[in-house]
Amino acid sequence: MKNITLSLAAIALIATAAQADIKSKSFGGNAKLFYGTNDAGTADLFDKASSYGNAAVHVGGSAAVGSCDTCTTLNYGVTGVSTMGLENTLVGATWINHTLEDAIWIDTLNLTFNPLNGISNTTMVLGRQALDTPMVFSEKWNIAENTYDAAVAVNNDIVNTTLVGAWVGRSNVGGAKTVNATNGFSDDSFDDFLGAQGAFAFGAVTKAIPNVTAQAWYYLAPSYPANGDAAR
């Protein structure tokens, strides 16, 4: 029997959803197969030593939590990656760092809601999610995107202006990373982001000037790992 390990944030979200009415809003998925080869050094194009490959499957969706369909939304998603045995014949490496073992992990599990409904146009997103800021972001070009355990607040009370505040606690910045083969299904790949205390981001995006989008961002990392793990 395989073990399942979840973060405290994931457990809290599941517990919250289990005690509320849930109505599915969307559900879907996709499958990808990536192959790449490089003519470098002593290896030629299509040589096993200079080629890399991956297959990935993603399934996810969203659901309304509670009696109000637009008040609180539960977003969820699971990604699985595999070499499909290609390492035995065609490739010697993978697109994301999960060694040559198959891996599956929860890439999205969050609640989206307005904590000041009727008072302020503010949206909170709590839990595992993709991020889109200039220096902390999810790379969607890869076969599986990196996501973050974070708390994000977005405010649009100012006309043509969006204010953002975020705390980021953990991430699989390097992709899936190494998943414990005895677990198979695990979020062990999510490490502390920029130190045990996490990092903060504050930003403002405005279109107050016609035909111009201006942005200003400030990042605060109380603790930065000396070994540079966060740069993977």
19/82 Cα distance (integer angstroms) = 35
Average pLDDT, the chain: 80
Smallest CA-to-CA distance from 132 within 117, 150, 114 is with 150
Q: Taking 60 as the threshold, does the pLDDT of residue 8 lie above it?
A: no
Rounded CA-CA distance 117/108 in Å is 24
For residue 178, is pLDDT > 80? no
Contact 144, 172 (CB under 8 A): no
- Predicted pLDDT of residue 32: 94
Percentage of residues in the chain having pLDDT higher than 70: 77
Give how far the C-alpha of residue 123 lies from the chain's centroid of Cα atoms, to the nearest Å: 18
Residue with tokens 């800021």: 133
**How high is the pLDDT of residue 28?**
96
Q: End-to-end CA distance of the chain, in Å?
A: 32
Tokens of 84: 């499909």
pLDDT at 115: 84
pLDDT band at 102 (very low <50, low <70, confident <90, very high): confident
Q: Which residues contact 35 (CB under 8 A, 6 or more apart)?
A: 51, 52, 53, 86, 90, 91
pLDDT in tens, 27-46: 999 999 999 998 877 888 98
106-159 pLDDT, tens per residue? 999 999 998 877 678 999 999 999 999 998 899 888 888 889 999 999 999 999
Of the candidates 153, 146, 62, 152, the one whose C-alpha atom is nearest the C-alpha of residue 109 is 62
The pLDDT of 44-59, averaged and rounded, is 90
Q: The dihedral of CA 109, 115, 117, 122: what is its sign?
A: negative
Q: Are residues 148 and 127 in contact, defined by beta-carbon separation less than 8 angstroms?
A: no
CB atoms within 10 A of CB 227: 6
Is this structure's pTM higher than 0.95?
A: no
pLDDT at residue 185, as a whole number: 41
Domain total in the chain: 1
Range of the domain at 208: 4-231
CA distance 180 to 229: 18
Residues 205-221: what's their mean pLDDT? 93
Question: Residue 68: pLDDT above 90?
Answer: no
Q: Look up tokens 């993978």; give the residue.
A: 94
pLDDT for 11 equals 60
